Amino acid sequence: MLQVENLHAGYGTSEVLTGTTLHVKQGSVVALIGANGAGKTTTMRAISGMIKPASGRVLLGGQPVQGLSASRIAKLGLAHSPEGRKVFGPLSVEDNLLLGAYNHLPMFFGFRGRAAEGLEKVYALFPRLKERRLQAAGTLSGGEQQMLAIGRALMANPKVILLDEPSMGLAPVIVQEVFNIIRRLKESGVTLLLVEQFAKSALEVADYAYVMERGRIAVEGTPAQLHQNERVIAAYLG
Amino acid sequence: MLKRLLLLRGTEIIVLALLACIPLTVSNSYLLGLLTLLTIYGILLIGLDVTVGYLGQVNLAQAAFLGLGAYAAGLSVSLLGFGMMGALGVSLLVGLVLGGVLAFPALRLEGPQFALATLSFSALSTTVLNEWDGLTGGAQGLSLNRPPLFGQTLGASGFYWLCLVILALVWMGMRNLLASQWGRAFEALRDSPIATDAMGVGTFRHKVAGFALGSSLGGLAGGLYAFNFQYLQPQSFTYDLMVILLLGVVLGGRKSLWGAFFGASLIVLLPNLLSNRILFEVISAAGLLLALVAGGRGWMKKTTKPFQALAPVIAMGMLVAGGFMVENTENWRKAIFALMLFSVVVGLPDGIMGFAARYLTKLFRISPSALPPASNLDDVLPLGKSSGGVLLELQALKRYFGGVKAVDGINMQVKKGQVHGLIGPNGSGKSTAVNVISGLYAPTSGEILLDGKPLPRGSLFKVARAGVSRTFQNLQLFGELSALDNVMLALKGAYRVPLPLVLLGFSRAEDSRAKADALALLALAGLADQAGMRAKDLTYGAQRFLEIARALARKPELLILDEPAAGLAHPDVSVLVSIIKSIRERGITIILIEHHMDVVSELCDTVTVIDSGQVIAEGTPDEVKRDPKVIKAYLGVAPDEPVAMPA
């Protein structure tokens, strides 16, 4: 579904990604782990078009999307739930969700009618959001905001979701809940690329995982294979 | 190192000598007039650059200060009979005092509101100059005679030399000031006012001082302006001039003395160049060529976006084409300025000098100045045994936001030398509690005692001075400053030289001592080899560690770490743990807010758990982890159970 081939990208003159290659099959959850500064977030930003790759290819459903603008890539079916959640604080929960569907809904008439189905699906997954649908998103707790960020990504009905550090800055009990959500998403057949600091938990939900070091993939394999790799255990699973 | 000094200082001396020699070889009174104006605008723009470049505020009052200084000097000569030096002193003082008076209310505003406040000040002052007929002569203007300097009457070249000497003195003073703690403080409070206060460097006082300093240079330039033209009119100091001054600073390059000088020469020379058709064509063609070369290179190397490369080329092309089409280029002066400004803002955001400086540094291979060897860490942060006893005590601390009880009666004691953990669900009030302790918010009620004495309330600055230092959950680094400067800014007790001596350059010695001390702290945080990098270019983990090093530079009794491990991956977390351990060895008491339970268990002596603004448990990490209330509200599972079910 998502193929990244030999991707090079960076900021200004400093190159962060030096040839990243990874594949996400339809309906699978793929984890991307590694140290700070290894290039995980940059990979996500390069895939979703927030920065332009210098070279390499990104294929979404077989179609090359590298070099397109972020809004164009989003329209083609890629949703990015960014690090730090980035919900629209002053807007209501429901408006945040509707903005997620903005790309494939009519501009003026019948907006809500067409969106209702998507909203129902998200509310079924996150009943908490339905309870709070008229509340300003900025007043939600950290865990609820994370649900909202994921829900907003789902509203676009995407082929692939990029999930960047969903557990960042959350209490342990909420982190467990976030991983339960990811498990539920997986059961409903969503294709997911997950960046996560909690490597252990990430490997528990993932079908396949990549370990990044200095801008490229150092190790890859199924969670079971990584659990046997001594280097990975020492550096990331401690 | 020597090469750097020779090149930088050498250029300054050569340019100064050249400028000083011109009147000896050329006796062209028109040229001399232009040169005099160049020095005056140079002083004016150096002053403007303090607010626009370093403080990062749009200041629209500098033309008004030029006018006020000019009238002050003129009136003190014609009414009070002052000499040259006396009159210039008065104009400087008028700029300083009025600048300070304007700064007090205006600098509590930010961004556009500040720009509007300065705009209304300049409207006010030109109106007063225009309408106060009895004093200023109103729209008729004010004629005056150039007063003698120490009994000597000054001719045109004599006055020019005086202006040049004053420019050179201002230049030296500013260079010394900007290289000192003052310059760092100016830049720091542009990047993060909150962190500037939290590091014990008063935001407001530095803002006011910076603005008053810039305005006083405006006033001084005004005095020289008055004696240059010997005739003043209020209309000379209106918005038109202000826009051109801003243009000069941006075109020349912000945060640079050379940029201000270059901008001044542009302002002075352009109107004259425009009157000569051939010269204008040559200059606009050169501009087009520069835009083509710079844009083309940037595009090839993919360092500039297509728009950034193309827009200046189009703007400069319009200039060239327009030069052939219009009859009188002088009538199009403002349009020409506008096109040039647009090209520079888009194509060279650092201004012309900023671009040239980068290029020249590469050309001459000027290396950044060498760093002194780091001090011994034990001298900077002495190894200390804590005497035991309570360092911080919270008594029934409350903080409400409207109806929300964020902190609702917390009692807590932090013992000396301990690492005290503070945990709880998101939104439980941990961050609010430390924000109240550190002075970001004032408490609604309750007591905060440090070492038995009440801590100042509601002022980051005062709390920081009382010995409490903190890091921020959402990083508050000074992004444009180097890692070293970030730490140097916060260094406690390192800067004692008073301002007048700083201007004369007597702060070098204490500055290099501070540098050595800061390097030792950077080494503690594992950042010794990244000292010269800009904070915003560091990796995320390094930025977290830099905040800790910066907080340590306050040499605090109490260090508050607000989620230092948030967003850190496993290898960096172990580095963090070892950094915190080595801080504890130095007898510094630490409050640690953290969600990573393994970090909390490894480091903390005592843990307080907060939920809904109240303490629900307290004890050693092991006791707390087994507390059913904590498991329910925070941990989710007991420590013996697996953290999550296998998929």
Inter-chain contact A36–B567, Cβ cutoff 8 Å? yes
Q: Which of B221, B239, B257 finishes a domain?
A: B239
- For residue B20, being part of any structural domain is answered with no
Q: Which of B224, B239, B254 finishes a domain?
A: B239
Spatial distance between the Cα atoms of A200 and A203, rounded to a whole number of angstroms: 5
pLDDT category at B647 given cuts 50, 70, 90 is: very low
Task: For B19-70, write each residue's pLDDT tens digit.
Answer: 888 888 877 888 888 899 999 999 999 999 998 888 888 888 999 999 999 9
Q: Burial of B487 by CB count in 10 Å (0-12 exposed, 13-18 middle, 19+ buried)? A: buried
Strand order in the sheet with A55-60: A14-24, A2-11, A55-60, A63-64
Query: Which among B302, B427, B637 has the least Cβ separation from residue A142?
Result: B427
CA torsion through residues B630, B564, B488, B486, sign: negative
Position A107 scores a pLDDT of 63
- Which of the given ranges, A101-110, A116-125, A169-178, B551-560, has the highest pLDDT on average? B551-560
Spatial distance between the Cα atoms of B530 and B544, rounded to a whole number of angstroms: 14
Does the pLDDT at position B643 exceed 60? no
Does the pLDDT at position B644 exceed 50? no
A129 touches chain B (CB under 8 A): no
Inter-chain contact B570–A205, Cβ cutoff 8 Å? no
Residue with the larger pLDDT of the pair B224 and A107:
B224
Distances (CA, A) of B254 to A69, B162, B221, B602: 32, 26, 19, 48
Inter-chain contact B569–A168, Cβ cutoff 8 Å? no
pLDDT category at B384 given cuts 50, 70, 90 is: confident
Rounded percentage of chain A residues whose pLDDT exceeds 90: 16
Inter-chain contact A235–B571, Cβ cutoff 8 Å? yes
Does the pLDDT at position B131 exceed 70? yes
Position B303 scores a pLDDT of 67
For the record, the structure tokens of B409 come out as: 């009666």
Spatial distance between the Cα atoms of B94 and B344, rounded to a whole number of angstroms: 34
Q: Considering its fold, how many domains does chain A have in total?
A: 1
Report the 10 Å Cβ neighbour count for B311. Answer: 18
DSSP B419: E
Position B90 scores a pLDDT of 94
Spatial distance between the Cα atoms of B193 and B199, rounded to a whole number of angstroms: 10
For the record, the structure tokens of B640 come out as: 């013996």
CA distance A112 to chain B (A): 32
Inter-chain contact B643–A173, Cβ cutoff 8 Å? no
Position B645 scores a pLDDT of 38
Name the average pLDDT for chain B: 86
pLDDT category at B395 given cuts 50, 70, 90 is: very high
Q: Which residues contact B520 (CB under 8 A, 6 or more apart)?
A: B374, B375, B376, B377, B379, B380
Residue with the larger pLDDT of the pair B380 and A159:
A159
Position B541 scores a pLDDT of 87
pLDDT category at A86 given cuts 50, 70, 90 is: confident
Report chain B residues touching chain A, CB-CB < 8 A.
302-303, 423-427, 473, 537, 539-542, 563, 566-572, 574, 595, 597, 633-637, 643-647
Spatial distance between the Cα atoms of B397 and B412, rounded to a whole number of angstroms: 9
Q: Which of B239, B269, B284 finishes a domain?
A: B239
Spatial distance between the Cα atoms of B614 and B599, rounded to a whole number of angstroms: 23
Hey, is B349 helix, strand or coil? Answer: coil
Name the average pLDDT for chain A: 86
- For residue B362, being part of any structural domain is answered with no
Task: For A6-33, write each residue's pLDDT tens digit.
Answer: 988 887 667 888 889 999 999 899 999 8
Inter-chain contact A199–B569, Cβ cutoff 8 Å? yes
Task: For B286-307, write each residue's pLDDT tens digit.
Answer: 888 888 887 887 777 766 777 7
Query: Which among B425, B542, B569 has the least Cβ separation from residue A173?
Result: B425
Average pLDDT of B446-462?
Answer: 90
Q: Which residue of A has its CA nearest to B423?
A: A171
- For residue B312, being part of any structural domain is answered with no
Structural domain span for residue A80? 2-237
Task: For chain A, give the number of residues.
Answer: 238
**B276: Cα separation from own chain's centroid:** 41
Residue with structure tokens 């079924």?
Answer: A124
CATH number, domain with residue A172: 3.40.50.300
For the record, the structure tokens of B345 come out as: 């803002």
Inter-chain contact A33–B569, Cβ cutoff 8 Å? yes
**Facing residues of B637 across strands?**
none
Residue with the larger pLDDT of the pair B366 and A128:
A128
Q: Which residues contact A11 (CB under 8 A, 6 or more apart)?
A: A42, A51
Position A108 scores a pLDDT of 67
Inter-chain contact B636–A12, Cβ cutoff 8 Å? no
pLDDT category at A109 given cuts 50, 70, 90 is: low
Residue with structure tokens 């400087």?
Answer: B92
Average pLDDT of B471-481?
Answer: 89
In this structure, of A48-57, A155-164, B273-282, B543-552, the range with the lowest mean pLDDT score is B273-282
Rounded percentage of chain B residues whose pLDDT exceeds 70: 97
Structural domain span for residue B408? 387-635
**Helices B239-252 & B111-131, crossing angle to 10 degrees?**
140
Hey, is B626 helix, strand or coil? Answer: helix
pLDDT category at B642 given cuts 50, 70, 90 is: very low
Please give the ipTM for the structure prediction. Answer: 0.71
At CA A87, angle to CA A111 and CA A54, rounded to 5? 95
**Facing residues of A60 across strands?**
A2, A63
The secondary structure element, H or E, covering residue B473 is none
pLDDT category at B133 given cuts 50, 70, 90 is: confident
Average pLDDT of B140-149?
Answer: 81
- For residue B613, being part of any structural domain is answered with yes
Chain A hits for B635, CB-CB cut-off 8 Å, are 172-173
**Facing residues of B449 across strands?**
B393, B454
Best A173, A183, A211, A227 residue to mutate vs chain B (most B CBs within 10 Å): A173
Task: For A217-234, write each residue's pLDDT tens digit.
Answer: 999 999 999 888 888 888
- For residue B233, being part of any structural domain is answered with yes
Q: Which residues contact A123 (CB under 8 A, 6 or more apart)?
A: A129, A130, A133
Chain B hits for A179, CB-CB cut-off 8 Å, are 644
- For residue B323, being part of any structural domain is answered with no
Q: Considering its fold, how many domains does chain B have in total?
A: 2
Could you tell me the pTM of the whole model?
Answer: 0.82
- For residue B292, being part of any structural domain is answered with no
Best B307, B472, B643, B645 residue to mutate vs chain A (most A CBs within 10 Å): B643
Task: For B433-448, write each residue's pLDDT tens digit.
Answer: 999 999 989 999 999 9
CA distance A83 to chain B (A): 9
